[in-house]
Structure 1
Amino acid sequence: MHNIETLNKFLKDELSATETYQQALDKLHEDVVLSESEHLRTIYEDHKASASSLQSLIIRLGGTPCEDSGAWGTWAQIVQGGANLLGKETALKSLQSGEKSGAEAYEEALQETELPSEIRSLIETKLLPAQQEHIRTLDRLIGAEAD
């Protein structure tokens, strides 16, 4: 049961990320050049794919996937809404902060010695590498913003 709870926590984070990126894409569309928008859309699609992978694994393990991002999603929306008011660079830094938090959660899970191989494999091969790539992409976008 503990594994299902862990996976659902990750699923909530991924659902929150999709909501936040969708909101960022909607709010920033006037300020964002096409290439930036494509980078953000790619990250959004990655989070959707990660959520789908988590949902499938939860079902395969006999659990019921959560359907929304819960309180974390509400908090992320408030943070992103405030960042949108403060400008694109702040919004990008807010997104990056969320990505770093997600990567840390995956890295912490990998420290668990009793983590089943199926979950470990998903984190190592898909979820964590995606988060790390998102951080690098946002680093580049923030760097371009500072120039």
Structure 2
Amino acid sequence: MHNIETLNKLLKNELAATKTYQQALDKLRDDAGLGESKELRPIYEAHKEAVSSLQALISRLGGTPCEDSGAWGTWAEIVQGSANLLGKETALKSLQAGEKSGAEAYEEALQETELSSDIRSLIKTKLLPAQQGHIRTLNRLLGA
């Protein structure tokens, strides 16, 4: 049961991330000529893949995957919405903050002793490394 709660918490973060990246990509598409969308699209796809992995795992464990990002998603939307108004750099910084928060959530989950080995493995080999890669991409875009 505890594993399902942890996975649903991580799933909420991933749902918030997909929503936020979708908004950012829409914004970048509207601002013609921004090359960042080529860099952000794979991150968006990776978050969608993480959502699928987590949903499948929760279902396999007999749980019900949450379907929305809850309060975190609402906060992410507000942050991204205001970032979109304030410009590209602010938008990228808000994405970066979200990625760092997501990485911290995965690291915290790994500290939980009750976490089963298959969940631990998914986080260690796939989800956390992807998150760290997203942070590196955003750092590069912000440094450019």
Q: 1:12 to 1:59 in 2, by over 3 A?
A: same
CA distance in structure 2 between the aligned counterparts of 1:41 and 1:82, rounded to whole angstroms: 21
Q: Deviations for 1:95-121, whole angstroms, at most 9, x for unmatched residues?
A: 000000000010111112221101100
Partner of 1:63: helix, strand, or coil?
Answer: coil
CA distance in structure 2 between the aligned counterparts of 1:48 and 1:109, rounded to whole angstroms: 20
Q: Please say if 1:69 is aligned against 2:69.
A: yes
Whether the 8 Å contact between 1:31 and 1:88 is mirrored in structure 2 is no
Partner of 2:34: 33
Name the aligned partner's letter for residue 111 of structure 1. Answer: Q
- Between the aligned residues of both structures, percent identity stands at 80
Structure 1 length-normalised TM: 0.94
Bigger shift: residues 24-33 or 45-54: 24-33
Partner of 1:138: 138
Residue segments in structure 1 that go unaligned for 5+ positions in a row: none
Partner of 1:111: 111
Partner of 1:50: 50
| Matched positions, count | 143
Whether the 8 Å contact between 2:13 and 2:73 is mirrored in structure 1 is yes
Which runs of 4 or more aligned residues in structure 1 lie more than 4 Å from their structure 2 counterparts after TM superposition?
Answer: none
CA distance in structure 1 between the aligned counterparts of 2:52 and 2:122, rounded to whole angstroms: 12
CA distance in structure 2 between the aligned counterparts of 1:39 and 1:62, rounded to whole angstroms: 36
Whether the 8 Å contact between 1:21 and 1:44 is mirrored in structure 2 is yes
Q: Deviations for 1:79-99, whole angstroms, at most 9, x for unmatched residues?
A: 000111111001000000000
Structure 2 length-normalised TM: 0.96
Whether the 8 Å contact between 2:2 and 2:114 is mirrored in structure 1 is no
Residue segments in structure 2 that go unaligned for 5+ positions in a row: none
